[in-house]
Amino acid sequence: MNTQSVEVLQLSLHGFTVGYLLGYQNGQNILEFDAGFISNQERPTLTLSAHFDHPSSARLFSEPWARRQRLHPVLSNLLPEGVLRDWLAQVLKVHPDNEFPLFSALADDLPGALMARPLDLAEVPPELLQRRPNIQLAPRTEYPDQLHFSLAGIQMKFSMHQKDGRFTLSRPGKLGDWIIKTPSTRFKNVPQNEFTAMSLAKLVGIDIPDISLVSIDELEDLPSINLPDEEQAFAIRRFDRDGKLGRIHMEDFAQVLFKYAHDKYRVASTEQIGKIVYGFTGRRLANIQQMARRLLVNVLLGNGDAHIKNWSLFYPDRITAELAPAYDIVFTKAYIKDERKVALNMAGNKNWYAVNMSHFESWANSVGVPWRAVKPHLNEVLDTARSLWPGALDSLPMADEHKSVLRQHWQVLHPDFRFTDL
């Protein structure tokens, strides 16, 4: 058999070696798991179905993860999409679908706590070379510092560190604690839209990280990118970073479900996500009640983009999954004139003008959570939103034309959710 040139990355999670990712010159990618990690009953959780007690964990580790060009979805979904991916691929001079070099370039500061380190030949475990005798290590590739971090998603965004009122790009040894979303070149006033929607969500009990609008002048070291003539960016504190705990592991539901980002709108329903949240998280009742609140908020705020990558789990104790705080809540109808659908099916429905309380009851029954444990939370969201949102909206920074569209949206929802006193 011909010898093949490969690069090898050691993957680690909270100091434990997960395995070794081999990137072949022909585009094949193979993750060989470390035997000690598989057998360790106290190992940190890489992905939900890899939890030691999960019924699928033994099968999950029974063979290496092998893919071509793209990485396994658990790894692939750590990489950006859209314009940020295209920009990175252009800098690296690789095809955007050739994910190993993207992953390798960004592997020191990935979302969550997974880390990767390139190995020299002397560092590669002998047992790995015995299993893969036909490999020859390629020279280690050096990458520019501006490619230090990775953030999932389509929008142009940056991991940045805040100090003395300034934001600087994260660097090796200096993790970013905020995500900064710069203004969109396609849509106007997106930072103000997201800040407003997230602020309204917080008013009705949605768990969100700290958020802020920051001046573009406060952002340092940004790469050379095209920005519109807008003065503010949206800042959200990273819930996967902690000043004392360091990295906190997390995964979005594309990773949980082993699906690629291009399938984020079509491969799951809110019932499927709910069953996982209620069946496999630590604070399962509180988590499913929070999920119910968010589902209603997405309807009330006309958010048509709550796909599976905008729902996440995180692992504060390194082992047990919990529902992560909400992020990426945007009034999308402000930009898409005929928008009238949420991203994922609930009780067979996506149309937010048709959805009513019976759809939520059907969702709860399908998930297996008692309706009596969910309905009071929905009532509280609705009562609080009707009471506080109209006045709060007046003082929030959303563009006036978007505020007008949002008020119209509230007036034409199903009578169960309609705002009548505006």
Residues 48/52/58/61 CA torsion (nearest 10 deg): 70
User: Backbone dihedral region of 248: left (phi > 0), alpha (psi from -120 to 50 degrees) or beta?
Assistant: beta
Rounded CA gap, 64 and 72, in Å? Answer: 10
Helices (H), 110-231: 126-131, 190-203
With a CB cutoff of 8 Å and minimum separation 6, the contacts of 348 are none
- Strands 166-169 and 219-220, by their bridges, are parallel
Rounded CA gap, 174 and 117, in Å? Answer: 16
With a CB cutoff of 8 Å and minimum separation 6, the contacts of 286 are none
- Strands 166-169 and 157-163, by their bridges, are antiparallel
- Strands 249-252 and 312-315, by their bridges, are antiparallel
Catalytic option among 240, 252, 305, 328: 305
The strand pairing partners of 240, in sequence order, are: none
The answer to whether 344 and 307 have CB atoms below 8 angstroms apart is: yes
Rounded CA gap, 19 and 69, in Å? Answer: 19
Active site residue 328: no
Residues 399/401/406/407 CA torsion (nearest 10 deg): 120
Rounded CA gap, 27 and 21, in Å? Answer: 13
- Strands 4-13 and 114-118, by their bridges, are antiparallel
Find how far residue 383's CA is from the centre of its chain. 30
Measured over the CA atoms of residue 23, residue 38, residue 256 and residue 193, the dihedral's sign is negative
Rounded CA gap, 145 and 168, in Å? Answer: 13
- Strands 65-68 and 114-118, by their bridges, are unpaired
Rounded CA gap, 87 and 147, in Å? Answer: 10
Which residues are known to be catalytic? 305
